[in-house]
Amino acid sequence: MPSRNYIISAAIILLLAAGLIFLPEKNNKKELAPEELLQELQNDKRFVSVDQLAVLMIEEDPTLVLVDVRDPGSFVEYSLPGAINIPVENMLEEDYQQYFDRAELQIVFYSNSHILAEQAWMIKKRQEVNNIRILKGGLNQWTKDILLAEAPPETAPKEAFDRYNFLMGARKYFVGASGAFDPAAQGDIVETAPKKVPKIPVKVKKEKELEGCF
Amino acid sequence: MKQSTRTRGLILLTVFLAAVIILGLIFRKNNHAEYQLSTDASLALLLEEEPFVSLDDAYVLLSNEESNAVFVDLRSPDVFGKGHFENAVNIPIHHLLDPSTLERLEDSTTFVLYGENASQAGGAWALLRQMGFTNIKALQGSYEAYLDGAPSELVNSAEYDFQTIFDQVATAEKGKVLPVEEKEPPKKVVLPKKKAEKPVSEGCF
């Protein structure tokens, strides 16, 4: 009699085990649910404005990691000072995970407009990476605001002039002396070490501009 | 004997319940949103597929009576009430993943999402695409831009030749910047990283 009970118990356990095999395994992955991702998509905190980024860069914020998500060709042609290049198609490679694992970093994705950067951000966000923001408007907005800033009309409110003055200051800083990196002498640049590889092409370009004094 | 009958009854009941639970878990109806594509597959698709319908193409779709494309307005009902594409459906973006919405989207018609800008529609597209919807497109601009006859928003292209503009601005600013530069050479010496560069710039002076 007990042996039959054992058989029945064993049958239950086997049945449960068989059932577990067929359970959808998606639930096991740690991911942000679509609903949560939708929430994030409506949150303006995912953006960093041109002005905010300029401040971070001028202050040499050691936690800032600027990531150009465009293709390597575009990156070499022109990129923001100090940026590293992680093309969208390589976004999920293990090599880059070191950046996304470090919660103390402020990663900023940028592309020409911000749509490519935003899509890259969505993929990483789905993987529950929370230290990434997107440069709103991308390089187009950056160039328009900082390099091509125009003086506001005289009737504009004071804030408009304050912002204009800020942008002009930022412009001087970014196009200035070999560039932009001189004031770095004041800060500790130890923390920016991971950026060293990509910095090279950017610096080389700026040097060329300096050579204008020949 | 009575006892063992009862035990057996309990066991049978347990088996039955376990079977129901397991079958329920396997065949439960997916009413909530789930990804159908892995992150790798999603990334590949984001790069391969063109999510956007340009404003010109939207005009063609809207004026073609045989087109069965449905425009979906992601903005709030208030804004929607003030003006929207003809025959557009209003699904405010925070209702995008409601079961009723997902049911509606499971259809052979093409849905063209539009919102305040291309970025909003593109984000909604990317989300639905990862959930396996293939009949979704995103408008490359806003309804207002369409009305104004404005060009489609730039999605991946550069609006300027960045380097050229940078060079022009740098040249223009140089006169103003140089004096400042001359005042600060001591600071440069502090920077060990720049050693290689210094001879170059010193050579200029």
In chain A, the domains with their CATH numbers are 34-213 (3.40.250.10)
Question: What's residue A175's pLDDT?
Answer: 86
Residue B124 lies in a domain: yes
Q: Do B176 and B127 fall within a single domain?
A: no
- Residue (of A74, A65, A68) closest to A88 by Cα position: A68
Q: Do B121 and B179 fall within a single domain?
A: no
Residue B95 lies in a domain: yes
Q: Do B139 and B167 fall within a single domain?
A: no
Residue B19 lies in a domain: no
Q: Do B143 and B172 fall within a single domain?
A: no
Question: What's residue A10's pLDDT?
Answer: 86
- Average pLDDT on A65-70 reads 95
- Average pLDDT on B107-135 reads 92
Comparing A88 with A178, the larger pLDDT belongs to A88
Instruction: Examine the pLDDT at A203 and tell me if it is beyond 70.
Output: no
Question: What's residue A180's pLDDT?
Answer: 43
By percentage, how much of chain B surpasses pLDDT 70?
Answer: 81
Residues of A with Cβ-Cβ distance to B159 under 8 angstroms: 112-113, 140, 143-144
Comparing A129 with B183, the larger pLDDT belongs to A129
Instruction: Examine the pLDDT at B42 and tell me if it is beyond 80.
Output: yes
Residue B102 lies in a domain: yes
Q: Do B48 and B139 fall within a single domain?
A: yes
Q: How far is B86 from chain A (nearest CA, A)?
A: 26
Cα–chain-centroid distance for residue B43? 12
User: What does the mean pLDDT of chain B come to?
Assistant: 82
ipTM rounded to 2 decimals: 0.70
Confidence of residue A64 (pLDDT cuts 50, 70, 90): very high
Q: Do B51 and B144 fall within a single domain?
A: yes
Comparing B38 with A182, the larger pLDDT belongs to B38
Is the CB of A172 less than 8 angstroms away from the CB of B177?
yes
| A158–chain B Cβ distance below 8 A for any pair | no
Question: What's residue A25's pLDDT?
Answer: 58
Residue B56 lies in a domain: yes
Residues of B with Cβ-Cβ distance to A148 under 8 angstroms: 160, 165, 169
- The pLDDT tens digits of the residues spanning A19-49 come to 777 766 555 567 899 999 999 999 999 999 9
Domain count, chain B: 2
Question: What's residue B198's pLDDT?
Answer: 45
Q: Do B73 and B114 fall within a single domain?
A: yes
Instruction: Examine the pLDDT at B149 and tell me if it is beyond 70.
Output: yes
DSSP chain A: -HHHHHHHHHHHHHHHHHHHHHS-SGGGS----HHHHHHHHT-GGGEE-HHHHHHHHHTT-TTEEEEE-S-HHHHHHS--TT-EE--GGGTT-GGGHHHHT-TT-EEEEE-SSSHHHHHHHHHHHHTT--SEEEETTHHHHHIIIIIS--PPPTTS-HHHHHHHHHHHHHHHHHHSTTGGGGGGGGS--GGGGGGHHHHHHHHHHHHHHHGGG-
| Residue environment code for B61-87, b if the CB has 16+ CB neighbours within 10 A, otherwise e | bbeeeeeebbbbbbbeeebbeeebbee
Q: Do B131 and B191 fall within a single domain?
A: no
Return the residue of A nearest to B184 by Cα: A182
For chain A, positions 14-73, list CB contacts with chain B under 8 A: 15-16, 19, 22-24, 26, 31, 33-35, 37-38, 41-42
Instruction: Examine the pLDDT at B23 and tell me if it is beyond 90.
Output: no
Question: What's residue A2's pLDDT?
Answer: 62
Q: How far is A104 from chain B (nearest CA, A)?
A: 24
Question: What's residue B1's pLDDT?
Answer: 54
The last residue of one of the domains, among B104, B121, B148, is: B148
Give the least confident one: A112-121, A155-164, B10-19: B10-19
- The pLDDT tens digits of the residues spanning B46-56 come to 888 999 999 99
Cross-chain CB nearest to B47 (options A33, A88, A177)? A88
Q: Do B43 and B137 fall within a single domain?
A: yes
Give the least confident one: A109-118, B66-75, B107-116, B179-188: B179-188
Residue B81 lies in a domain: yes
Residue B13 lies in a domain: no
Question: What's residue A18's pLDDT?
Answer: 82
Residues spanned by the domain of B55: 39-148
Q: Do B45 and B126 fall within a single domain?
A: yes
| pTM summary value | 0.72
Return the residue of B nearest to A21 by Cα: B26
Residue B23 lies in a domain: no
Q: What are phi and psi of A105, to 5 degrees?
A: -80, 150
Residue B49 belongs to domain with CATH number: 3.40.250.10
By percentage, how much of chain A surpasses pLDDT 70?
Answer: 78
- The pLDDT tens digits of the residues spanning B184-195 come to 444 444 444 444
What tokens were used for B62? 């809207």
Instruction: Examine the pLDDT at B15 and tell me if it is beyond 90.
Output: no
Return the residue of A nearest to B192 by Cα: A185
User: What does the mean pLDDT of chain A come to?
Assistant: 81
